[in-house]
Structure 1
Amino acid sequence: MISADTLTTDGTRIFANNTPFKVAVTTNAPGADTVIWSVADANGAIKTQGSFAVKSGVQTSTMSCTSTWSGYGAITATLRSNGGTLPNMGTRPTGIATFGVLPNLSPVLGTVTYAHQDQHRFGMQGFNGNIAALHALGISWTIDDREVSAMEPNGPNTYTPSVSDLDPFYKSNPDQMRIVRLDGLPAWDSKTGQFNDSFYAPSNMTEFQNFMGRVGTDTSLIRAANYPNQKNNYYQVTWEPSNGWADSATNFVAMYKAAYQGLHSTDPNAIVMGPANPFPANCTTACSTGYLQTYGALGLWNYIDAVATHGYWNAGTYPAHPPELQDSDPDPANQANALDNQLIQLRAMMQAGKPNMKLFATEAGTSYDPGINYGPTSPSQNQLFAQAAVGVRSHIIMIGGGAQVTTLFYGSDYPGETGYGTFFDLNDAQGAFGASNLSPKPEALAFATMTRALDGTNTLGRVTGAPAGTFAYAFQQLGNGKVVTAAWAHSNAQWPASGGLYSQTYSTSYSLQVDTAGTSGNVTKIDGYGNVSTLPYTNGKVTLTLTEVPQYIVSSNATVAKANATVPVGYMGQ
């Protein structure tokens, strides 16, 4: 009886701030009626509403809109006399049609100059090829396949490196850098006789090393032709090997040795990374730290230039278990599993094994809670709010805890694992890989704000002296620019781990030092969705009202910020 949509040509339903766009409402009323409509934000608060008359039968009414407010919008609409609600579409539930308005933060943050392209900090899985979505989210890194299984599926020595051996997407969009993925062995090179995701060392290690040399040649040629301002090339050898490694420890190190020596033989700018296990630390098998300890003792440190990890903190990362949940646990063993503490453990292991290494987080995502499926009545507005709050905090913790790069997961909803998408897929009820008819979730606009606020920065570290339940990480723009402090609060009591509603109103007061004692002035606050306001400070401190959604405070006294933050061990900047 009634439907609504925002009209775009790129399929994202995301618009620039203060730029006109259109909302089309299609009705099929049995008689003359009135459409009652509203737009709510990520917190469920109504931002604007109205009504208009419609005639009977099928007709489309178009509203012209311009928004100086930034964030996620959920349109609702019904007919006053005949009812009806917006239909379920794909993985998006009944009752809403969603869109986003991007923040414009350049007046606040200015323009950052990058000495080299790989100083950018945010990557993405799931949108390779969708440049509109990547630009909307503020992404600079994606993952490109160069596995043996991808390049030599049918036999050895069949892959010839070439500067033209590059997906046209990258040629057209040189702002998107490549993390080169190397895991995956075809049947001819597999000890199992069938494809395996590098859970065994290659059958032909000599050919494997030779293949890596050709990948290095290929990548060097591509970088010179397409990325002249990129300092290094980045290679990830394994992908969550803890999910299936079945070969010997000696062969694990030998595989890395062959990859390392092959790549470095032809690429003087190679950064070889691993092991990319699901969790950063606090376990021996499924964690990157555990693998570094076990295989580092056998020589692995000699064959990696940087560490790659995934950024999960429990087996099924979802809003009910946010990254800070166990910080307040009285058991120190449980505290160690909080994501911020895992980063401390991982950085300490890296520093002991090979000081001052780079750290790339190449995947981290937040799903819906267990038991929630795609359907007409789910997810709820509260679940979407929680996914955004938890998802964005996890990536701030990753770079605040010492990762040079963190990688968002995933583009749009996909089948098999419910709710990891940053966008709804409007065509497929269970989601589909490569979906292009999209509708943003709150998380998409929270990510878009985070990347715009924190890309082009060096990490100053965790702000010291914050009370329990308060989290603040300080960053400084490249070139000794402005300070941006990301801050939020978390309360386990307001965030039930076993069902119930997550508090959208919980807040706490926090005094952040932004200048020297005795001074007064103003700082700029960017809320979690990119809306800007001015806050006064006195005696060098600004009083903040923190919620579960991060906000970003822009200040100018870097000396004070550095004195009040702890740089992660071994972090050497971008």
Structure 2
Amino acid sequence: MITADTPTTDGLRVFQNNTPFKLAITTNAPSADTVVWSIADSNGAIKSQGSFPVAAGVQTNTISCTSTWSGYGALTATLRSKGGTLPKSGTRPTGIATFGVLPNLASVLGTPTYAHQDQHRFGMQGFNGNIAALHALGITWTIDDREQSAMEPNGPNTYTPSVNDLLPFYKANPDQMRIVRLDGIPAWNSKTGQYTDSYYAPKDLNEYQSFMAKVGTDTSLIRAANYPNQQNNYYQVTWEPSLAWADSDANFVAMYKAAYQGIHSTDPNAIVMGTGNPFPAHCDTCTTGYLQKFGALGLWNYIDAVSTHGYWNAGTFPSHPPELQDSDPDPANQLNALDNQVAQLRSVMQAGKPNMKLFFTEAGTSYDPGITYASGPSQNQLFAHAAVGVRSHIIVLGGGAQMTTLFYGADYPGETGYGSFFDLNNANGAFGASNLSPKPEAMAFAAMTRVLDGTNTLGRVKNTPAGTFAYAFQQLGNGKVVTAAWTHSNSQWPTSNGTYSQTYSTSYSLQVDNAGTSGNVTKIDGYGNVSTVPYTNGQVSLTLTEVPQYIVSNNATVAKNNSTVPVGYTGQ
């Protein structure tokens, strides 16, 4: 009897702040009735509501809106007399039609100045080719395929490097940089006779090295023609090899040696990265385990930087957030917290090859176990999904990564809920979906990228109370300080009734200036809404929740003295 939409030509249903847009509500009432509608934010708070009369039969009414708040909107609507609710649409659950409003933070943060394009800090998987989505989310890195399986699928010496060997998407959008992915081995060069992906070294390493030299030529030409302000080219050799590596230890290093020497023979600006394991640290099959094991066999000689994925061993769903183990009495469990994993990874890197750059090329958060696309997530689940997803990426950057890669674009089949957008056409999600509406996570991502891109990491704030997490950053060019802060309580996540507390909070005093001073700082909430907060004696009193907030201040000396720079991190 009732449907609703906030249509856009680009299929995103995301709007600029303070810009008009339309709510379209279509009814098929059996008799004259009244539509009752409301819009709630990510926390379930009503932001707007109203009603209007409708006649019997099919008709569409549009409501003109202009939003001065930023974030996620969930529209609900029903008929006062006959009831009804908004139907399920693809992976979006029954009862809501969602949209997003982007923050406008230029007046607060200004526009960072990048000496090199590769100082940007946010990448994404799942939206290659969808420039509207990438721009909405503040993304500047994507992953581009140059695997041997993609470029030489049918035999050796069949790939000719060319400056034109670039997807039209990248040519049209030079703000989107490429991490060159190299992990696929075609059947003709596979020891198994079939395609393999990071499981065996190639059968013919000499041909593999020759191929990598061509990739280096290709990438160097492309950078010169399309990315004149990009300092380096970035290559990832393996992709989660620990899931199925079946070759010898010596051959793992030999594969890296062939890739490294081939690429560096033709690309003087190459950064060759590995090993790309799912978890950063604290296990034999994590990135630290591979760096230590294969580093002893010479791997350090064949990588210029480290890449990893940003999952944590307790799981990636909201009930197991990245800080879960920090209050666990078992020290072994505490080590598996994401912040501790990143710290251990940087320590292993520093011991193996000092001051290397660190790239997180994938990190995502699913729904809790048992939630399916058919059942759909609740408002509470979506709230938690966003909070945990954003916190994981702040932890990574605050722990000393150059960049982090958001996973994933829209919902896709098989792994429920990793998408930051609903797919409105396909009940189980689909790769490449383009008819979308945002989840809270998408809009929290959009705020995070706008606040933290264009910064250097100052590090974790010292002497925070248990359950308080705070990381300091500074805008490039010795600009403003941004401190990301939140609280987390295991007892509230989830609570005894199985829900995640949306009201849990703690008080925290953050030093933003010298003792004896007073003034104001700017607070940006987790979705990009701005307010002014006074401070006295150099301290600002904050109420922290499970959703990060960002404090913008000006005294960088104080921020640096009160933060610990991650081991080996030397800036962007």
Match of 1:136 in 2: 136
Alignment-derived partner of residue 219 in structure 2 = 219
Counterpart of 2:484 in structure 1: which amino acid? A
Whichever residue aligns with residue 284 of structure 2, its letter is T
Tell me, in whole angstroms, the C-alpha distance in 1 between the residues paired with 2:304 and 2:331. Answer: 32
Q: Distance in 2 between matches of 1:314 and 1:500?
A: 21
In the alignment, is the contact (CA less than 8 A) between 2:314 and 2:336 conserved in 1? no
Q: Please name the residue that 2:379 is paired with.
A: 381
Per-residue deviation, 1:329: 1.0
Alignment of 1:90-489 (within 5 A): 90-285=90-285, 287-314=286-313, 316-375=315-374, 377-489=375-487
The amino acid of 2:242's aligned partner reads S
Q: Is the 8 A contact 1:122 1:408 kept in 2?
A: yes
Runs of 4+, deviation exceeding 3 Å: none
What SS does the corresponding residue of 1:266 show, helix, strand or coil? coil
- Residues in 1 aligned to 2:536 and 2:480: alpha-carbon distance in whole angstroms: 19
Q: Which runs of 5+ in 2 are unaligned?
A: none
How many residues were matched structurally? 572
SS in 1 for 2:380: helix
1:111 Cα offset (Å): 1.0
State how far apart, in whole Å, the 1-side matches of 2:334 and 2:354 are.
25
- SS in structure 1 at match of 2:345: helix
Counterparts of 2:112 and 2:418, CA distance in 1: 31
Q: CA deviation at 1:496?
A: 2.4
Q: State how far apart, in whole Å, the 2-side matches of 1:509 and 1:32 are.
A: 52
Helix, strand or coil for the counterpart of 1:133?
helix
Amino acid across the alignment from 2:530: V
- Residue in 2 that maps onto 1:38: 38
Aligned counterparts of 2:206 and 2:48: Cα–Cα separation in 1: 65
> TM-score, normalised on structure 2?
0.99
Aligned to 2:18: 18
- Three-state SS of the structure 2 residue aligned to 1:528 is coil
Tell me, in whole angstroms, the C-alpha distance in 2 between the residues paired with 1:198 and 1:155.
19
CA distance in 2, matches of 1:330, 1:2: 52
Q: Given the alignment of the two structures, is residue 80 of structure 1 paired with residue 85 of structure 2, yes or no?
A: no
Indicate if the aligned counterparts of 1:320 and 1:499 stay in contact, CA closer than 8 A. no
Give the whole-Å Cα distance in 1 for the aligned partners of 2:496 and 2:262: 49
2:103–2:447 CA contact under 8 A, matched in 1: yes
Aligned partners of 1:519, 1:316: CA distance in 2, in Å? 44
Residue deviations 1:269-327 (CA, integer Å, cap 9, x gap): 00000001000001011x10000000000000000000000000026410000000001
Q: Does 1:534 align with 2:532?
A: yes
Contact 2:322 2:392 in 1 (8 A): yes
For the residues of structure 2 that align with 1:346 and 1:314, how far apart are their CA atoms?
Answer: 14
1:554 aligns with 2:544: no
**AA matched with 1:543:** S
Q: Is the 8 A contact 1:320 1:497 kept in 2?
A: no
* % identity of equivalent residues: 83
Q: Is the 8 A contact 2:371 2:416 kept in 1?
A: yes
| Offset at residue 333 of structure 1 (A) | 1.0
Compared with structure 1, are the counterparts of its residues 51 and 462 closer, same or farther at alpha carbon in structure 2 (3 Å cutoff)? same
Tell whether the 8 Å contact from 1:321 to 1:497 is kept in structure 2 after alignment.
Answer: no
Q: Are the counterparts in 1 of residues 470 and 484 from structure 2 also a CA contact under 8 Å?
A: yes
- Structure 1 Cα separation of the partners of residues 337 and 348 of structure 2: 17
C-alpha deviation, 1:198, in angstroms: 2.3
What residue ranges of structure 1 are gaps of 5+ in the alignment?
none
Q: Encode CA deviations 1:408-465: one digit per residue, 9 max, x unaligned.
A: 0000000000000000000000000000000100000000000000000000000001
Greater shift, 326-335 or 236-245, is seen at 326-335
Q: Distance in 2 between matches of 1:498 and 1:228?
A: 55
Take 1:502 and 1:519, find their aligned partners in 2: how far apart are those partners? 38
For 1:59 and 1:338, the matched residues in 2 are separated by 53
Aligned mates of 2:314, 2:370 — CA distance in 1: 15
Preserved CA contact (<8 Å) 1:87 1:94: yes
Distance in 1 separating the partners of 2:487 and 2:144: 36
Contact 1:72 1:441 in 2 (8 A): yes
Deviations 1:225-263 (A, max 9, x none): 000000000000000000010000000000000000000
Q: Confirm or deny: 8 A CA contact 1:524 1:553 kept in the other structure.
A: yes
The whole-number CA distance in structure 2 between the counterparts of 1:428 and 1:125 is 19
In structure 2, what is the Cα distance between the partners aligned to 1:52 and 1:115? 54
Q: CA deviation at 1:331?
A: 1.4
